[in-house]
Chain A
Amino acid sequence: MPQTKPPILQLDDVRLTFRTRAGTVRALNGASLTVHEGEAVGLVGESGSGKSTLARAVLGLNPERSSRIEAGRILIAGRDVTRLSQAEWEAARGHPVAMVFQDPLSFLNPIMRIGRQIAESIERHAPDRRVEQRVGELIELVKLPSSLARAYPHELSGGMRQRALLAVALACEPRLLIADEPTTALDVTTQAEILALLRDLREKLGMAMLLITHDLGIVASACERLYVIYAGRVLEWGRAQDVFGAPAHPYTVGLFHAARADRDAQGRFATIGGEPPDLGETAQGCPFAPRCPKAMAECARAMPHASVLADGETHAVRCWLYPPTRESETAVERLGEA
């Protein structure tokens, strides 16, 4: 594990709210996360957990008028980007952090040729390169025929579009690629191809990746570490092998049961009962408490501090079931470095 690499992305207790007609929505409620140079990290959560909001916050892409970072810090390669103006964001996006999105059709401009969409990134971030040649290189890098530079998005299949979108992001020459549900809109075989491609590219380019997904299987195959996010809070994090080996938080356990299609005593598929919470409420305690099979009195009262679990310092959880670690602050700090 790359213990010594510096962090490329750090989120430090970020609180982000959306102002809506129905009132204020707390989309991120103290989310912390670290991605080191060259590392592949998964961010797992169900719909509405705040994972896409987190990803967009890293590039200042949440709607500027209705969203606000209330507290916390976002650092990209050590630079604080929490309070950038829109003009400063324009200068900061794309490099060193670039992003690919979920639906490869709607996220490509339908009336612009693929090659031009890639060329725009190159002209913006590496203007001294020979653009046409570089477009060809990038298209081949994502394993598409270079003739596709002249194609329009509607002429490509779903998997090809995702590769094209990937080429648009790679043209920014990022050190961190954020992939927001990059395979959700694709069929299973195509998913596997895209994941294999992402792995190849990371090795070839030495690029870090933050992979956002609701699919634990994808994290298992592609990530070294993972964070489990729920209602805008990170509930559990650690090395993939540790979390997969011994999931600690009842929510994570529930996710694993659902992902493995486990059945309960009556033979029904295991699900997590109830609904994700309404993010408009000011929740004091653990957001998962109302749905948690092991909820206790404390759970509703306050959110617990992190507990570093016994199996090395590579796995931590925020749950009252586990005794808070005495030396929690330092241990958790060190865990962030792990």
Chain B
Amino acid sequence: MRRFLVARLGWAIPVILAILIVNFLIIHIVPGNPIQALIGDFPAPPGYADQVRHEFGLDRPVLTQLGLYLLNLAKGQLGFSFANRQPVLGLIIERAQFTLLLMLPALAAAALLGIVMALAAAPRAGSLYDSGLTALSLVGFSLPIFWLGQLLVIVFAIKLRLLPAQGMFSLRTRLTGWAYILDVGWHLILPMFAVTIYYVAIVARVARASVLDALSQDFVLTAKAKGLSRRHVLWRHVLPNALIPVVTVIGYNFGYSLTGAILVETVFAWPGLGNLFITSIGNRDYPVLQGIFLLTAIAVVIANVATDLIYAALDPRVRAAGFRHA
């Protein structure tokens, strides 16, 4: 198992390096000028722009900049944000916490709900309940998440005045302790709901198909022939065999969830990574963008490795294959 893990992580290093270089070059190819964005329309003296450009090292050749960037990375320095005037690392970590606070519970709820719904629907494939679930998950899957988010804001925040429309804290208050936590939870409900609906739809579709497939496997007949109850067969035999494709989908989405929340965070003004990403593009804030790319690449790789490990835990055949090839 350790060799398997080392081999998988070893592969990740060249992948992440390649992603870094490509991202670095793409950002610099894109038109737009960070200095202009920084100075804005303020009439600056002609020498000032050059001075700022020199300060940030943007007057050097691109390849030199790339070399310096990689060198700094190796030293654990992600650079300095032009726009926010603070080190990138701290900025990203702060925002990533807020994104995780939104995405982790949403994904976990979606995974649980999606699997339970599929387990209820698949044994009755073709029934009204099953068709209804399939139709619903198709709708949930097709709804643009930003549209759903705005709809939720209109209904629950504006019309019903039940929940806050935006942000993560109530403004003009200084809450501490439990009151603070409750306040954040209060603001979390709508965006989390929007994210959960989308992922429930994805998980339920895949889980239904794979439960249906597992139900038709021969070993289910053996389990029934032993006299096991329907519930026991479903939870102990069908579900573990059906989980692998579901884990793939959840793992895959988890990797992207750090930045995948861009739309929801924008609609609900949630101060997470997605929000930072959008403003940093507007500001041509290269170091921040590169930092976010790096974090996303690492998150995707880690999510993939974790997915592989869960496969191995679920399926002894994968373990055997992993030992042989790794």
Contact = CB atoms under 8 A, between A and B. Distances in A.
Q: Do A and B come from one complex?
A: yes
B219 interface: yes
Interface in A165-196: 165, 168-169, 171-172
B47 interface: no
A68 interface: no
A101 B241 CA distance: 20
A79 interface: no
Interface stretch (A88-96, A212-220, A287-295, A317-325): A88-96
Interface residues of B, number: 23
Interface stretch (A7-15, A22-30, A106-114, A226-234): A106-114
A202 interface: no
Contacts of A101: 218, 221-222, 225
Contact of A109 (B223, B225, B227, B320): B223
B100 interface: no
Given A94-B227, A95-B227, A172-B227, A109 B222 contact: yes
A57 interface: no
Contacts of B219: 106-110
B28 interface: no
Interface stretch (A31-39, A42-50, A118-126, A270-278): A118-126
A120 B226 contact: yes
Nearest to A93: B227
Given A110-B241, A111-B241, A154-B320, A90 B229 contact: yes
B2 interface: no
Contacts of A107: 218-219, 221-222
Interface of A: 56, 59, 61, 86, 90-95, 98-99, 101, 103, 106-112, 117, 120-121, 124-125, 152, 154-155, 165, 168-169, 171-172
Most chain A beta-carbon neighbours within 10 Å: one of B222, B225, B236 = B225
Given A103-B218, A110-B317, A154-B320, A59 B241 contact: no
Interface in B302-316: 314-316
Contact of A111 (B221, B222, B315): B315
Nearest to A60: B224
A167 to B, nearest CB: 11
12 contacts: A90-B227, A101-B222, A106-B218, A111-B240, A111-B241, A111-B314, A112-B240, A152-B316, A155-B316, A169-B226, A172-B226, A172-B227
A251 B224 CA distance: 35
A120 B320 contact: no
A291 to B, nearest CB: 31
A137 to B, nearest CB: 17
A6 to B, nearest CB: 23
Interface string B200-220: 000000000000000001110
B230 interface: yes
A154 B227 contact: no
A172 B223 CA distance: 12
A99 B240 CA distance: 24
Contacts of A91: 227
Contacts of A106: 217-219
Nearest to A91: B227
B228 interface: yes
Nearest to B314: A111
A152 B240 CA distance: 14
Contact of A154 (B229, B236, B241, B316): B316
Contacts of A154: 316-317, 320
Contacts of B224: 59, 61, 93
Interface string B232-257: 10001100110000000000000000
Contacts of A56: 221
Nearest to A105: B218
B225 A94 contact: yes
Nearest to B320: A154
Nearest to B221: A61
A287 B230 CA distance: 38
Most chain A beta-carbon neighbours within 10 Å: one of B222, B223, B314, B317 = B222
B225 A99 contact: yes
Contacts of A125: 227
A117 B316 CA distance: 15
Contacts of A155: 316, 320
A93 B229 CA distance: 10
Nearest to B125: A65
Nearest to B319: A152
Contacts of B320: 154-155
Contacts of B237: 109, 112
B226 A93 contact: yes
Contacts of B223: 109, 120
Given A107-B222, A111-B316, A120-B232, 11 more contacts: A61-B225, A94-B227, A101-B221, A101-B225, A103-B218, A106-B219, A107-B219, A108-B219, A110-B241, A111-B240, A155-B316
